[in-house]
Every structure is written in structure tokens, then in C-alpha cells.
Amino acid sequence: MGVAGGIDTRTQRDGGQPLLRGKAVLKNYGSVQAVRGVNFEIAANSYVTLLGPSGCGKTSLLRMIGGFEEISSGSIELDGLSLATVPANRRPINTVFQNYALFPHLSVEENVGFGLAYRNLSRADLAAKVGSALAMVQMTQMSKRRPRQLSGGQQQRVALARAIINEPRLLLLDEPLSALDRRMRKDMQIELKDLQRRLGMTFLHVTHDQEEAFALSDRIIVMNHGLIEQQGASSEIYHRPASAYVADFLGGANLVAGTIRSAAEGSASIETAIGVFEVPALEGLKPSSRATLCLRPELLRLSGKDGIAATVTHTVFRGAYWLIEARASNDQQLSAVIDDSPPNAGASIRLTFDPNRAWITAA
């Protein structure tokens, strides 16, 4: 399944070395391998998301970068220098913890100023820095309160202020929005993205929510079973998933199993139960190997006479659009998105798509 250890080896856009680079990073807990030797690169000044289901190793990887777990083998480099001998408290990396980990016995401003105690600042400088960090997250009014007197969203802001006040080279965010309700989560996504742009800081954000990943990231690293399935720009991950797993995890895509008939540069022909299609494809697929055709629901259109024959099983009103679930030959499930006047359940329909926007990936 997939291509282990980073399919994406293209050079960074700015040509320089990446801010963070992982080489064959591996983590064992006893006999369990949480992270199974991954390579990755994170460019300076970007918003990167580490995306995967729970238990995929993303949190272990984040904790190794933060210095809370030792690496079993491999290395992680920051600005080309290995972090192996640098303890967590000496790394220019700060973390926004899941559930925030605010110190309950300290006020908001004491929480935010916690790390400055290790930097020999004058009292005035310290107060000024805390003030501007709190202003940055609009929490100036709350500076004397204790964490338990704050709402979830407010605690989130304090945790952010506390982590950015030391001006880290890299900010790690461990499922920072998971404790918030849906509305608050949307607002905070916008603020996080905005904050990252204003600060010009590099954010590495762990989440299991693909919607959140697309809303925030310049680049996404998709993990599964301790391996990196794919890393690349968000649009690339979305439109050109490197494996059926990635396509499935990102959600919604119709996945049609098939066999490669012939492969050319950048495209291939695939034979499936619902037809033969020649569309753009992942590099390196061999003829007669198993592969998967990915058809996003928004790609499928109702057509008059030709196309894939299918029977509508049900239709779901989604507010802005209708989602149609249909069954094609060989019980292949297909879903399509249309704007209005959906066919009834049981109706026979035909579906077509723009071949240039479909994609063939590994099985």
C-alpha cells in the first residue's frame, strides 16, 4: 500500500534547505512500531499539517520533534543540525498542547510569561512582551484570570500566546482545535492561518480532520500505520492522491478498482467493471498491475445518453447541493453532486466526467 517514506522529493520552492528534515525516523514502544522510518521535509514559513487517523503515528512524530520522545533510530534536523542531543527545553520549538496544558496555578499572564524566565529579561521587557503576545490573541482583558475561569476558545488563545512568545523557529500544534465546538473551530482556523502569516512562523499542525487540514495548510503530510503515505501541496494531495488510502481518507471520492492496461508518461489506461478509461495517472504504474480510479463526486455529471449506466439508490439534500448515491455494474457505488432537480430513487441514469480531472492511483 502506498509509497513509504515520502514520494515527494522535489526541491523546495525557494531552493534553500528545509527548516526541518526527518531522515528514516523510527519509533518503537516495546515491540510496537509507532513510526516506521519516515522521511519528511518542512519548509520555513509554511503551514504544514500532519494528517492521519488516530493511532497512525502522527502524535508520536510530533512528540519526537518537540523532544518529548526519544527517536529509536533515524534523525531529525533543524536548519541542517541534528536535534538528537538537544533536550526539549533547549529546542527553538514550542508546542500548543492538546487540551492546552495551561498551568492551573498561574494566571493568564504568568502562563504566557512562563518561558521568558529563562531568558534574562528586565521586568519591563518581560511585561511588554507578555502584553504584546496577549494583544496578538486579543486576550489583554483576561490577563489576571486563572485558566479555569476561561472558555475553551480563550484557553486556546492563551496556549497560543504562551507558545509564540518565545519566537520559536517552529510551532507545533497537537490537535489544537479538537476540544472546541464546530463554530468556534471554524473561527479559530481562520485566526490560526492569519497568525501564521503575520508572524512569518512555521506551523506544524497535527489533526485527524481532513477538512481542517485543507482549510489551513500550504502542505499536507498524510500518515497511516506509522508511514507517510504522501506529502505535498494541499491541492496536489486532493487531486492527485498517491494511494487509494489517501484518496479514501480525504473522503468522498469514488474509488473504482481496476487493472492497468497501458501506461504512458503522466497518464494510463485502466480497465474497471464500469468501463475502460484513459486519464492522468500516478508515475510508475506498471501494465497489468492493480490500480484505483479516483472520481470525485463533483466531477461526475448526469448525461443524456452515453456514460456509465447506474441506478439511483438514494438522494440526500445537503443544503447547497444534492448528493446522489447510485449503483453501477458489478455493484460499484458511485456518488455524484448536482445542483438541483435530482432523479428519484430507482431511476436509471448515466454519468460522465471530464477525463482530464480524474486520477489513477495505486491500489
Which among 306, 298, 290, 304 is positioned nearest to 358, based on CA atoms? 298
- Decide the pairing of beta strands 202-207 and 47-51: parallel
CB 227 within 8 A of CB 50: no
Residue with smaller CB distance to another protein, 94 or 335: 94
| Nearer to another protein among residue 72 and residue 352 (C-beta) | 72
User: How far is Cα 237 from Cα 356, in angstroms, rounded to an integer?
Assistant: 16
Burial of 331 from C-beta contacts in 10 A (0-12 / 13-18 / 19+): exposed
Degrees to nearest 5, angle at CA 141 with 137 and 144: 105
Give whichever of 112 and 310 is closer to another protein, judged by the CB atom. 112
Closest CB 105 distance from another protein, rounded Å: 5
Grid coordinates belonging to 203: 506551523
CB of 189 to another protein, least distance (A): 23
**Closer to another protein at the Cβ: 15 or 104?**
104
Least gap, CB of 141 to another protein (angstroms): 23
* Min separation Cβ 40 and another protein, Å: 21
From residue 353, alpha-carbon distances to 189, 271, 336, 356 in Å are 33, 16, 10, 9
Q: Note the residues at the interface with another protein (CB under 8 A).
A: 66-68, 70, 87-90, 93-95, 97-99, 101-105, 114-115, 117-119, 148, 162-163, 166
Q: Which is nearer to another protein, 164 or 324 (CB)?
A: 164
* Minimum distance from residue 89 beta carbon to another protein (Å): 5
Phi, psi angle pair for 20, to nearest 5°: -125, 135
227 three-class SS: strand
- CB of 96 within 8 A of CB of 175? no
- Kindly state the smallest distance separating residue 201's Cβ from another protein, in Å: 15
Minimum CB distance to another protein smaller for 169 or for 186: 169
Closest to another protein by CB, 64 or 336: 64
- Taking alpha carbons only, the member of 168, 207, 212 closest to residue 193 is 212
Residues 216 and 237 sit within 8 Å (Cβ to Cβ): no
Give the residue with the Cβ less far from another protein, 118 or 287: 118
Least distance CB 327 / another protein (angstroms): 35
| Residue 69 CA from chain centroid, whole number | 22
**Contacts for 136 with CB less than 8 Å, ≥ 6 apart:** 161, 164, 195, 198
Closest listed residue to residue 25, CA positions, set 94, 80, 73: 73
CB of 213 to another protein, least distance (A): 23
In the complex with another protein, the residue whose CB is nearer, 44 or 101, is 101
Give the shortest CB-94-to-another protein separation in angstroms: 6
What is the pairing mode between strands 301-303 and 348-352?
antiparallel
